[in-house]
């Protein structure tokens, strides 16, 4: 006689509901995360800069990545497209807000991508996601 098999836990989306509130909270947390890591990268790259500039740019990569995330889940090639689209949108926002030419804003965006990736992996390990 076999022991009864326990039901696996439900996916996170069914626990949180995945409704409009979850989307708004995700957008706000992603915007805050991107603004914080951008301010770190800008301070490292440019020097002393007001944190408000990063707060203006933070929602742009958050919105693009949230809007395009469904395409990144379907194939690994599309993950690259989502990352490139997010970086291009951020390049345009950084160039406008920090008043930098594209040639000067590009290294800042790449540096921010590195800061966000390292901090994202570290936080995912702390919270047990990875």
Residue 69 pLDDT grade (very low, low, confident, very high; cuts 50, 70, 90): confident
Whether the CB-CB separation of 100 and 89 falls below 8 Å is answered with no
User: What is the spatial distance between Cα 130 and Cα 124, in angstroms, rounded to a whole number?
Assistant: 6
Mention every residue, 6+ apart, whose C-beta is less than 8 A from residue 90. 57, 60, 61, 64, 109, 112
Tokens 């995945």 belong to 18
Tokens 């490292």 belong to 44
Helix (H, G, I), strand (E, B) or coil at 46: coil
Q: Whole-model pTM?
A: 0.81
For the stretch 97-121, pLDDT in tens is: 999 999 999 999 999 999 999 999 9
User: What is the spatial distance between Cα 19 and Cα 82, in angstroms, rounded to a whole number?
Assistant: 23
Residue 95 has pLDDT above 90, yes or no: yes
Residue 14 has pLDDT above 60, yes or no: no
Residue 62 pLDDT grade (very low, low, confident, very high; cuts 50, 70, 90): very high
Residue 71 pLDDT grade (very low, low, confident, very high; cuts 50, 70, 90): confident
- Report pLDDT for 73: 72
């Amino acid at each position: 006689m076999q022991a009864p098999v326990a039901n696996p836990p439900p996916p996170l989306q069914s626990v949180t509901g995945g409704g409009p509130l979850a989307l708004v909270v995700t957008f706000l947390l992603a915007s805050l995360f991107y603004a914080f890591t951008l301010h770190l990268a800008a301070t490292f790259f440019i020097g002393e800069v007001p944190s408000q500039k990063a707060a203006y740019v933070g929602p742009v990569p958050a919105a693009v990545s949230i809007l395009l995330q469904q395409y990144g889940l379907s194939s690994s090639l599309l993950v690259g497209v989502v990352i490139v689209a997010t970086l291009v949108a951020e390049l345009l926002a950084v160039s406008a807000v920090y008043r930098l030419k594209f040639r000067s804003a590009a290294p800042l965006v790449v540096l921010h991508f590195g800061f966000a990736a390292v901090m994202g992996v570290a936080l995912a390990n702390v919270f047990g996601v990875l």
